[in-house]
Structures are given as structure tokens and as C-alpha cells.
Structure 1
Amino acid sequence: MQVIPVPVHLDDRTIDQLASQLGNWPPEGPVLVDAHATEWASPAGLTALLTLGQAMREAGLPTPRLTLPAADGVASYWAKAGFIRFAEELFELHGKVPRRRPEEHSDVLLPLTAVRDARDVHEVVGRMTERATQLLKQELGLEASVVGGFGQSLSETCQNIVEHSGTTGWVAVHIYNFRRRLGRKAAVIAVSDAGIGFRRSLEATQAKRFGDRWGDGPAIETALIHNISRFRDPGRGQGLAGTKRYLARWQGKISIRSGTARVAIVPHWDDEPPMTQGLPWFPGAQVTIVIPAREEQS
């Protein structure tokens, strides 16, 4: 059995450590995803775990096992965040499985939600935006115009799943205190899917002009930085462009990982490289958006 250890702290950056344990894809035998020592996971980490399970299902592999965190309260928080209800569909769960229901009215999170088609996007965005309006005003001190932009950003990011991935994705929103990097609270939107990824999505229309330089990094950069979509219809598939403009106004951050690369638009308060290539391969695409609170709310 192949054992894939989950990092102690699983977020959009340490997904790289998780990916480094995958080896050749698809795995040749049974898989155990071991999170027993995991003490914390961001929405990006939780959605990535579901993406891994989904990718194994779509590859026709035996149902993988997932050992839940042993630390007090961690698995319970995962249940509160809505992770357990989806994990039960994709993994054989081991360890103490909490029966706590997802918390729909928390002050710091909006539970994990599946996105499968355009109808889901409208339902997810409608439900999350309504709840987030109160959340972002109270917790982050953001104005109505910013909150409206949040809904648009969420919608466009979820739409990216429907337009490009070809499979199920997940979205989650949590609020954290970014003490070291930012010095105040921020909302984190995480969207992940097990689809074809940015390179394959854009290959037919963009690979030729890049020649030998074509790969995951240039593909993400083409979509995020240059606002190019695989669709020829004006405006279609370019939701990331709107998200990017919105984040630029509020010193937000967006980071996209797909395949073996990650590209980020980095504000002054963060030190992530704009592009990282040669990463361990991970299925699909992972989008992480950070929206800071107003400075006086710190």
C-alpha cells in the first residue's frame, strides 16, 4: 500500500509536500492518505484533499483510505468546515469520524460546497454572497462596494471550474488572522478541481505560439496575466481578469497552481514568487484568493 503523508500544516503552499508523495500517476496499488499528524488545514488544503480523492476515483482506482487527524478538535473542525461529508464519498475514513454537521452560520467560515455545473455556480454564489456580506462587514470591516466585488470574484472563480475543468470542484471561504505576513484578518477563498488543468485547457489555441516553452507555468500565466481564454467568444472564460482587477484595488492576492507550476499576483505584504515551475505534479487546478481587512480593523 502506498502511504501519502499529509503535512502538519496543509495550505496552498504545502500542497507541494503532499504532491511530492504521489510518485507516478496513477498509483499502482491501494493508497492511504495519512493525516493523523495534521494539526491545521486551510480551505486550500481541504479542497486539495478532496481533489486528490476525486482524481483517484476518476482514474478508476480503488477507493483510497484517509486517516483523520488525531489532534483534539482538528477532525471536528474539518467536519464543521464541511469536509467530512464530501470526504465520506471519496475515501474510506479511518480514525475517529466526527458526526458534527457543517456549520452554516459560523462567524469565520462558509462551509465547503461542491460545484458541478453552471446551476451550482449560481446557487453557491447566491448562498455564499448573502452570508458573506454580513461576515465581511463585521469581521473585516469592508465596505459594501468591496463585498459586492467579493461576490463577483467568487462567481468568476467558480465559473472557471465549469468552463475549463470538465469535472467536479469545491469552494470554501474562511477568515483568518494573518499576523506575521499581513498583521490583520483576511478572507481566504479556495477553489480546487480535479479537471484537465490550465495547460490542457489552453493547449489547442496557445501551445503553438510558445513552442518548446509551452507548459503549466506559461499556461497559467496566459490565463491570469494576459487574460486569454480557450474560448473565442468575447468575454467568455475570462472571469480571472475581473477577479484580478478587483483584487488589485484592495491589495488582495491570487495564486493558481496547476500541474507542476504556480503563478501568483503578489501584493506588497506577501513574499511568494510570481512564478514557480518544476513543482511536484498535482491533479487539476487550485485557486487561492486572499482579501485583507481594512487596516484599521487589525
Structure 2
Amino acid sequence: MPSALSASAASARITVLDVLDVRFPTSEHLDGSDAMNLEPDYSAAYAVLRTDAGGGLEGHALTFTTGRGNDVQAAAVAALAPHVVGLSVDDVCADLGAFSRSLVHDPQLRWLGPEKGAIHMATGAVVNAAWHLAAKLAGKPVRRFLGEMSPEDLVAQVDFRWLSDALTPEEALEILRRAEPGREQRIGHLLDQGYPAYTTTPGRLGYSDEKLARLAHEAVAEGFTQIKLKAYVGICGTDLHWSAETGFVSGPRMPGLRVLDRIGSGDAFAAGLIHGLLSDTGLESALAYGTAHGAFTMTTPGDVSMASLAEVEALIAGGSAHVRR
């Protein structure tokens, strides 16, 4: 992997893996709240790879948690220190893929992961800190450092153990090589136009309608064209849409739902909403289709409802959320 190592950085070693426990009391005003996170004290286990090179050469990254979960997450990051401290900066940055794979092969920590849960998140933080370190050495932002890598280097970073049934390294390399000729133009477009983003700031479960409207107006004034709302389809079943043009538009309430399984309800809501929008029956009707289909998914086990359009429309009209077989 190409880099621009100075003489001092080339001989540098990682001396410390620091873990900072960062927490914000966001639950005081229900910032970040949603149906599953009613007291979200937004937090992060912040990892810093420090080196003995001059100029404060360090790599920074974090893994996001909430509140008490940060106790576990910070400990998980710290547990990886024996695999990191003492390594050559040159060796780590020369093959970030190999560095990543070395962290998931600890024979004892594997028992807690390594590709799931707190150990998975901790590994991600340390690996991302190494990428930050490598990008600093190359004198580039991480996004540019990654975007300018050769197809061969990109493929070398990926652990294909879980992918090769669907995509082999050779196939991935061919895809990247085919896309390579237009890369500079795409980078130029991003630098010139930026990348479209949405904000979640206005739409939190604990916010009043008045606060949601105020924050939504502020987001639009700041230039956001997309706002993601954290809606709650619970025992009464309702969803909410807001725009500067329409104000609030609500889906139907459905009291008495017997919730068995929430898995897939978001996808089911999206499917119903899209059906309604494509049917061109109006936003309120589209929200009703989304809410009803999401309700069916939560009142049947598994991640699909198998409800028919007729059953969804019957529920919108006030019928039962029982799927007929």
C-alpha cells in the first residue's frame, strides 16, 4: 500500500492504545430517543493509537454506544491493547487488511466475537484508528486515502471468508478495474457538489409536535432537503410525516394491536408507503398503507406478514389485523 512515511515515522512504533470514555446526558431532553432507546445517553469509546514518532503522530476513531453500555465497550477496546502496542507503524500501515485480520484471531477474545457484539465494535474502532494513522502519514483525509487506492489494494483489505459464495476476490477486482477509468471524475464531482445528507435532529420519539416542527424548519433553513423521523408504530400504530409544505400528516391509529414480533416492521412500513405513493392516492393514504402493513408484520411472527392487499385495505378501513390463511 502506498504511503509517504518520513524517516522518523518509518521507524516509529505504537506505544499506547488509549481509551477515552465520552458520554453526553442526551436523555435529559430525550435527544436521540426512539422506540427502542428511551433513555439514550449518547456515548462513545474513543480510541487513540499513540506512537513514538515526532509531531504527535496518532490515529483516532470511536465506537458509538449509549450510557452504561460504554463501560463494556471501553473495556473491550482496552482488551485489544496487547495486540497493538509495540507494533511497527510501517508494518501496520503497509497492510491494514492483515492488521484487521490479526485482531479477530485472538483465540480467547474470539469466544466473545470476534465479528459480533462488543468485541466486533471494539475491533472496528482500533482498525479505523489505524486507517486514520495511515491516512495522516499519506497526508490525506481518510476518504481521499481510501478513494485513491488501487483496485488491488482495495481488494486486499477485505476478508472474503463471509463473501466468497456471492463475490470472489477476482470478481471484486474486475468490478473495481472496470470502474477505475471514471474515478477522478467522480472524486471531482464529490469535491465540487458534496454528498447528499439527511438529518435526524428533529425527529425523536420524546419530542413534542411543536419541537419537531421547530427543529424541522431550522433543518430546512440550514439546507437539508431530507429529514429522517424516528417514528413509533406501537400498540396503537401510527406514523407521522412532516414537510414545510404540508405540515404534519398522520397515519391511522390502530388500537388493540397484539404485537408479537417487531422484526421487519420498518421494511413492511416502507413497502406499504411506497405502494401508496405509486398508487398516487395522496400522502395520507400512503401513510395508511404503510402503517397497516407494518402493523400486520408486528402481529405475525417472523419478518414478513404475508398479508394481501385486500387485508391491508380492510385494516385501514377499521378491520382486524388478523392475517387470514
TM-score normalised according to structure 1 size: 0.24
Q: Which has the higher contact order (CA 8 A, sep 6+)?
A: 1
Give the structure-2-normalised TM-score.
Answer: 0.23
Larger % of helix: which? 2
Give 1 or 2: higher strand fraction: 1
Greater radius of gyration (CA): 2
